Structure 1
Amino acid sequence: MTAPSPKTIPPKARAVIIGGGVSGCSVAYHLAKLGWTDIVLLERKQLTSGTTWHAAGLIGQLRGSQNMTRLAKYSADLYVKLEAETDVGTGMRQVGSITVALTEERKHEIYRQASLARALDIDVREISPNEVKQMYPHLNVSDVVGAVHLPLDGQCDPANIAMALAKGARQRGATIVENAKVTKVHTRDGRVTGVSWAQGDEQGMIEADVVVNCAGMWAREFGAQNGVSIPLHACEHFYLVTEPIPGLTRLPVLRVPDECAYYKEDAGKMMLGAFEPVAKPWGMDGISEDFCFDQLPEDFEHFEPILEMGVNRMPMLASAGIHTFFNGPESFTPDDRYYLGEAPELSGYWMATGYNSIGIVSSGGAGMALAQWINDGEAPFDLWEVDIRRAQPFQKNRRYLRERVSETLGLLYADHFPYRQMATSRNIRRSPLHEHLKARGAVFGEVAGWERANWFAREDQEREYRYSWKRQNWFDNQRDEHLAVRNGVGLFDMTSFGKIRVEGRDACAFLQRLCANDMDVAPGKIVYTQMLNRRGGIESDLTVSRLSETTFFLVVPGATLQRDLAWLRKHLADEFVVITEVTATEAVLCLMGPDSRKLIQKLSPNDFSNATNPFGTFQEIEIGMGLARAHRVTYVGELGWELYVSSDQAAHVFEAIEDAGADVGLKLCGLHTLDSCRIEKAFRHFGHDITDEDNVLEAGLGFAVKTAKGDFLGRDAVLRKKETGLNRRLVQFRLKDTQPLLFHNEAVLRDGKIVGPITSGNYGHHLGGAVGLGYVPCQGESEADVLSSSYEIEIAGERFAAEVSLKPMYDPKAERVRM
């Protein structure tokens, strides 16, 4: 492509896209398809010259969740059609893919993935080692225990995919300019106004409403220029390509995750690539200004263990010459998921970047989704898994990133066990009680950088996870904690809750406009509510306590804090309101269970009776020799209090509770128990059971919506849904067989037909079986119709009968929380 002269770069554009890899080209293509003609894509060197050109080009439709699979499937379908549309050969061939398992645990994992694929209407089949051998005759299958075949997966030419997307965008009016570097993003009053560019000796500026950062491994440093946090870091990625092998014919893409390897036949040669367990971070001192189609130095010693396993797995490699041994950089994120969306720090600054080596299969769908999001102002469906607002500000720290990405690259092919915890870059955010809990046997997990006690080990028990798809080594610990909460009293450290103060003259009116429930309550009251989008989908799930006439205290999940702050600030109009994040100022100790009142009355002179402190209220209390706010709410379905304690007093209050609880049977409890208790009570979990594409009425949360209070965001959609009726309902399931486990994404069958996935699951130690939630179609049906069907849950290809309920199976009348 010939670079246009500087004069052809327009002075104004609706959108400027930074970066000409497959991601930027996809965003340009899809915005153009939506009718945006005044789009400019600026590439610092040449299209595809960063990472795209050396990508392996594997197109696997099945990802770890419903919507990530939706995006990957869209990419695969798009790339099949793109060649005919643009006359650019994309190399897209649907050769299929095979994933083989060498262990029973891996077999269980890939069979679970096959069940999810069926739930998402993807062609999939479990196959035997003999069938693998027939399809892949060069393979050593002596230790293969199982495999999965997806016949419509494929492979492509990554650079040509990007070129086809670029041509498609230009055909619809977009301007694409190479050798034009964006030097600065301009802003005014908290939003972007345009960019400056340099092309050779020429410089200029484009006024723009929207800027999209698709700069790949440059995205973090570029975002930092405007205070935008994009936590990613480059790693070295290795593969080799053999000389031509006589008789080698077209083969499916092969993945052997137990050996960290993938194989791809291309033009009679074989490619072997690796996602090794400990990767090599790259670019710690920045990336050279001249970087363009560059390779990194070879490190054959690093790759050699993979090659040794490869020669055993595919013996013909022993005699094949090596044509290319390649090492190139790719960007990775702290959680192995890419970034889409608008930066919470800067309005109009969008991004599609950080693809963790799945950029080719992801970019088609990601570009489509981001273009719709930019165009409509709301995500087209739930994209929380890849939303930039999940990133925490501290994660831009380079040392943190360097250590974390050495692990995340390898996790792509590691066993994806439930509850698997990161090993690197830990202990960044700790509650004031961390050392107390550690000394008492806490085994920690990490969410949003917070170290949280997930379970408590016995004195004679190792304080480590032993991962499995079956009952893990902490299953009995969780049972003991769970039953203590149900029958006695348990204590949770929930300091990681996100905490936000909304205050000022117009605070009440502001929250009335954003929240579905009635916020105009008396000081001392706590309101459970959702913030909705225009479609009636759930953007946030929270409690709001009215501290005074002009001050409200919002509590949100720790993982969604940045999202919720961004949503509040985005919707702040010309109102006298101050929004302040105060998470670190207070610790939260949750005292839960039927004996919680007995215990708290030993610690405090205050009155905790129903008359003085009923459910849904809070009071200022003395506790030990400290002070706290006691919020009478629960996420476990029992009598209890969340105690908000100034961080400097938290250790003292904890010690006082522990001393007083010794003769009441107090038990320290972890987050696994919090989750198993909440699912017995059918309490929803944001990001799994309720998302921004789930209507609040279909999610069963209509009790928290007060349309009579007046206008609020999402009210019209709620009223329309009431008129037209529900299309689906969130249902609670309990497996009749007490042995299997539910996590999420297992397939739900209604009268023998798959109707969707389980949205979340855990073991109900009181109910005596695995419990899950999931949506069931119900258009035109009554509640009785939904409940009269026969239900099964498919787990790794095996089906188990399930009981169903539209009301919580545990304490359906919520009598226990009001004891």
Structure 2
Amino acid sequence: MTLPSSSKIIIIGGGIIGCSTAYHLAQMGQDVLLLEKAQLTSGSTWHAAGLVGQLRSSANITQLLGYSIDLYNKLEAETGLATGWKMNGGLRLACNQERWTEVQRQATTAHSFGLDMQLLTPQEAQDLWPLMDIGDVVGAAFLPTDGQASPSDITQALAKGARAKGAQLLENTPVTEILTEKGEITGVRTPQGDIACEKLVLCCGQWTRTLAKSIGVTVPLVSVEHQYMITEAFGVPSDLPTLRDPDRLTYYKEEVGGLVMGGYEPNGIPWAQNGIPDPFDFQLLESNFDHFEQLVELALPRVPALETTGIKELINGPESFTPDGNFILGEAPEMANVFVGAGFNAFGIASGGGAGMALAEWVAKGEPPYDLWPVDIRRFGRPHTDEDWVRARTMEAYGKHYTMAWPSEEHSSGRPCRRSPLYGALQNSGAVFGEKLGWERPNWFADAGEDAHDIYTFDRPNWHAPVGREHKAAREAAVLFDQTSFAKFILKGPDAEAALSWIAANRVDKPVGSIIYTQMLNDHGGIECDLTCVRTAQDEYYIVTGTGFATHDFNWISRNIPEGMNAQLVDVTSSNAVLSLFGPKAREILEQCTRDDVSHDNFAFGQARTIGIAGCPVLALRITYVGELGWELHLPTEYALTVFNALHDAGAPHGLRNAGYRAIETLRLEKGYRAWSSDIGPDHTPDEAGLGWAVKMKSNIPFKGREAVQAQRDSGVKKIMATFTCDGDVILSGRETIYRNGERCGWLSSAGFGHTLGKSIGMGYVRSDEAIDKEHVLSGEYELEVATRRVKAEVTLAPLYDPKMAKVKS
């Protein structure tokens, strides 16, 4: 085939993700060319195990996997090629009480997302999977719509479907160089010649990181050896469900009358640490029976027949894994029109159909079909540019693939990485740190005699009382949070106000010294950013957002500055430390540290000004995320310890305490403050989230998303954010199902314990097929499904805690 000179869209990589993306782009009528260095599936697709499960902790990722199944159900009829797809269901075992609690919570999550996950007795599970011994089984979960597939066959069917709609797929056409000009993508170089393109899609599996790095794009994935064995046939029925046995770290599926058995050992083996050999096509690694023996020892008691069944083959094929166990999709923040679909953590077949659909829409329309934050490439940041750090974290994530998914569990590898200048002082004060985007952040503080580490459980954890202590201090005295990890930007230039006015939903044409809380919306009115802007000069704004959103929000703001406007965005995160002083005694403490007037009359809420503390210039923001009087104090990092000590010296007589991020969470839930990525995001509008008051619709000022907000106000909202409370010792952790008048209407987006209330609190959207209003929400009788058990819940649309009234709603 003659090499084309150009194509609007070029996809590199002919595995299931590349072929699925080509298939969906071709379905949309796009001009697309796929280039594969060898033959289709020759990377890691051909040796994938092929289990297809759906349930994930995110509703939208679950939806994406469900799309895969819908596609696989019809693909054979559409293309005439067999796919090996069988909807034979999927079983998951629990062999101890803690795992059974996890499975019950997963079943509730499934119900929240509309999946029929059934809880079974051990005998019922054995009836479905007669090969197993159930002596240690406590219970099981069954998803009838899970299944298995032949990875190569599905990929070839997708390729045929893509070609039928006009896509070109060229094999034996390696890309040797990505061509750019002045920081923009222009095409690719192959041994047969150059091909120009407008958009480039990297679906190269474990080769993606190196290829992307050549143009300055970070794709944090590494290769890990992954083994599974294929037995001789021994009469295994073809309709046997897939089986996951996480307590024994193993999985099973039927294969030509025998079994495939693989798993995720705690001591995985990284591969190709010094580069992938070339060529490496349709190749496997040497079988490592010694390493695999640990999984065999776990499997034999479960499937005794394996003792006497011959092993046909032990497959050892490298796969790409990521630091958080989620795959990577989206447009690279470093370069426009370069897209990535890679790092599928050995569930690329389950994800393939949906990921290809989502990536194709992202490429063609400039946005995903729905919020895909858990897999968005912009969730990564500075630590992920270092391959050694990525490998250390990824190997930990690999080893945890089947371990218990504890609430609030932290990773331990690659730490400490990024440290506030107060790290040592906080450590000496009993801080128990968590990590976010490489930053060490105090989660809670242990007093003398307390274990200064997390002990994970599905019950009340060991930090419950210490967090309650910090929570109480915030409500009754004062607390100090180290929030240095906040992402901080400066938008500066003659057109800074005009640019920000277009991007921000709230008014930013305020006097110097004003704080503006605002969302930034997409064209559908969905919330892309939720942040604070401080007008520090006529031509300058200081922008503060969440630690984990540094890459995402910087990318959103910078790429939405209207063309031709003179405004520059600079990341100053590492320049400034942040100390947040909150509580009813915050003003008394601050007054003792500064000569500046911080009285309410002179320093009102929503104002920012520079004050002096112990010789240090401090930008003080009168704002709160915990529902109490207080200030965020932003200051150059070299002054942090001096200011920290001054505040503690002044605060000691007033009961000032250090406090951590888990107290921030409990405090904000009582106040009803929303959190981006859980309660609000691209799929939620301000009006749905109860944030319509922060949108400048009464002005005639144009802004991105305005038309969508107006259209929704004309037609009404179909979901409304509400807050729920439960009496008794009910533990809420998020994703519990919401029932209104006995009908499922949503799920909790975030949850925790309100120490002032003495109750569990959850936030979530009450949803309907028709337009609804506040009266609809408040008139319902509510229950929450918690680990498959329904409990009565009270609903409110107002904050549970009101500091002005010094009372709570019970």
Q: TM-score range with shorter-chain normalisation?
A: over 0.9
1:230 partner SS: coil
Counterparts of 1:137 and 1:357, CA distance in 2: 27
Give the counterpart letter for 2:620 in structure 1. Answer: A
Counterparts of 1:162 and 1:101, CA distance in 2: 33
1:749 partner SS: strand
Correspondence 1:193 to 2:193: no
CA RMSD of aligned residues (A): 1.4
Q: Report how far residue 816 of structure 1 moved.
A: 9.9
Unaligned runs of at least 5 residues, structure 1:
none
1:727 partner SS: strand
1:360 partner SS: helix
**TM-score normalized by the length of structure 2:** 0.98
* Residue 231 (structure 2) aligns with: 242
1:128-167 aligned within 5 A: 128-167=121-160
Question: 363-372 or 582-591, which moves further after superposition?
Answer: 363-372
For residues 297-331 of structure 1, the C-alpha deviation after alignment (integer angstroms, 9 at most, x for no partner) is: 22222111110110011111111111111111011
For residues 696-744 of structure 1, the C-alpha deviation after alignment (integer angstroms, 9 at most, x for no partner) is: 111111111012141000011111111111111000111122x122221
Q: Is the 8 A contact 1:734 1:771 kept in 2?
A: yes
Counterparts of 2:380 and 2:220, CA distance in 1: 7
* Residue 18 (structure 2) aligns with: 24
* Residue 305 (structure 2) aligns with: 316
Q: Is the 8 A contact 2:133 2:303 kept in 1?
A: yes
Q: Is the 8 A contact 1:524 1:618 kept in 2?
A: yes
Correspondence 1:472 to 2:466: no
From 5, 10, 28, give the equivalent of 2:4: 10
From 723, 726, 748, give the equivalent of 2:717: 726
1:2-151 aligned within 5 A: 4=1, 7=2, 9-36=3-30, 38-151=31-144
Correspondence 1:654 to 2:648: no
1:508-547 aligned within 5 A: 508-547=497-536
1:472-621 aligned within 5 A: 472-572=461-561, 573-621=563-611
Question: 187-196 or 122-131, which moves further after superposition?
Answer: 187-196
Counterparts of 2:410 and 2:113, CA distance in 1: 27
Distance 1:394 1:781, change over 3 A: closer
Distance 1:246 1:727, change over 3 A: closer
Correspondence 1:369 to 2:358: yes
For residues 625-652 of structure 1, the C-alpha deviation after alignment (integer angstroms, 9 at most, x for no partner) is: 3221111001101001000011001011
Q: Report how far residue 247 of structure 1 moved.
A: 5.7
Counterparts of 1:728 and 1:761, CA distance in 2: 18
* Residue 710 (structure 1) aligns with: 701
**TM-score normalized by the length of structure 1:** 0.97
Counterparts of 1:192 and 1:696, CA distance in 2: 35
Distance 1:184 1:816, change over 3 A: farther
1:265 partner SS: strand
Give the counterpart letter for 2:540 in structure 1. Answer: T
Distance 1:302 1:645, change over 3 A: same
Q: Is the 8 A contact 2:407 2:456 kept in 1?
A: yes
Q: Is the 8 A contact 2:717 2:773 kept in 1?
A: no
Counterparts of 2:376 and 2:519, CA distance in 1: 19
Counterparts of 2:123 and 2:83, CA distance in 1: 33
Counterparts of 1:341 and 1:246, CA distance in 2: 44
1:409-428 aligned within 5 A: 409-428=398-417
Correspondence 1:682 to 2:675: no
* Residue 333 (structure 2) aligns with: 344
Question: 392-401 or 148-157, which moves further after superposition?
Answer: 392-401
1:477 partner SS: helix
Q: Is the 8 A contact 2:236 2:259 kept in 1?
A: no
Counterparts of 1:154 and 1:325, CA distance in 2: 22
Counterparts of 2:268 and 2:796, CA distance in 1: 47
Q: Is the 8 A contact 1:444 1:452 kept in 2?
A: yes
Counterparts of 1:698 and 1:90, CA distance in 2: 42
Counterparts of 1:692 and 1:245, CA distance in 2: 50
Distance 1:325 1:186, change over 3 A: same
Q: Percent identity?
A: 43
Question: 779-788 or 545-554, which moves further after superposition?
Answer: 779-788
Counterparts of 2:784 and 2:399, CA distance in 1: 31
From 761, 768, 779, give the equivalent of 2:751: 761
Correspondence 1:642 to 2:632: yes
Q: Is the 8 A contact 1:518 1:709 kept in 2?
A: no
Q: Report how far residue 388 of structure 1 moved.
A: 0.4
Q: Report how far residue 209 of structure 1 moved.
A: 0.9
Counterparts of 1:688 and 1:813, CA distance in 2: 28
* Residue 396 (structure 1) aligns with: 385
Correspondence 1:176 to 2:169: yes
Q: Is the 8 A contact 1:540 1:686 kept in 2?
A: yes
Counterparts of 1:813 and 1:653, CA distance in 2: 29
* Residue 735 (structure 1) aligns with: 726
Counterparts of 2:385 and 2:317, CA distance in 1: 23
Q: Is the 8 A contact 1:58 1:361 kept in 2?
A: yes
Q: Report how far residue 248 of structure 1 moved.
A: 5.0
Q: Is the 8 A contact 1:638 1:816 kept in 2?
A: no
From 331, 342, 348, give the equivalent of 2:320: 331
Counterparts of 1:321 and 1:11, CA distance in 2: 53
Q: Is the 8 A contact 2:60 2:372 kept in 1?
A: yes
Q: Is the 8 A contact 1:443 1:454 kept in 2?
A: yes
Q: Is the 8 A contact 2:801 2:807 kept in 1?
A: no
Unaligned runs of at least 5 residues, structure 2:
none
Give the counterpart letter for 1:22 in structure 2. Answer: I
* Residue 669 (structure 1) aligns with: 659
1:341 partner SS: strand
Distance 1:814 1:76, change over 3 A: farther
Counterparts of 1:596 and 1:52, CA distance in 2: 58
Q: Is the 8 A contact 2:719 2:772 kept in 1?
A: no
For residues 13-66 of structure 1, the C-alpha deviation after alignment (integer angstroms, 9 at most, x for no partner) is: 110000000000010000011111x21100011111111011110011212210
Counterparts of 1:249 and 1:627, CA distance in 2: 72
Counterparts of 2:730 and 2:97, CA distance in 1: 16
Q: Is the 8 A contact 2:236 2:254 kept in 1?
A: no
Correspondence 1:211 to 2:223: no
Corresponding residue pairs, total: 805
1:296 partner SS: coil
Counterparts of 2:238 and 2:6, CA distance in 1: 51
Q: Report how far residue 228 of structure 1 moved.
A: 0.4
Q: Is the 8 A contact 1:232 1:396 kept in 2?
A: no
1:77 partner SS: helix
Q: Report how far residue 249 of structure 1 moved.
A: 5.1
Give the counterpart letter for 1:578 in structure 2. Answer: Q
Counterparts of 2:804 and 2:593, CA distance in 1: 30
From 293, 301, 306, give the equivalent of 2:295: 306
Q: Report how far residue 195 of structure 1 moved.
A: 1.1
Q: Report how far residue 780 of structure 1 moved.
A: 3.9
Q: Report how far residue 347 of structure 1 moved.
A: 0.6
Q: Report how far residue 624 of structure 1 moved.
A: 2.2
Give the counterpart letter for 1:308 in structure 2. Answer: E
Counterparts of 2:160 and 2:458, CA distance in 1: 46
Correspondence 1:433 to 2:427: no
Give the counterpart letter for 1:558 in structure 2. Answer: T
2:777 partner SS: helix
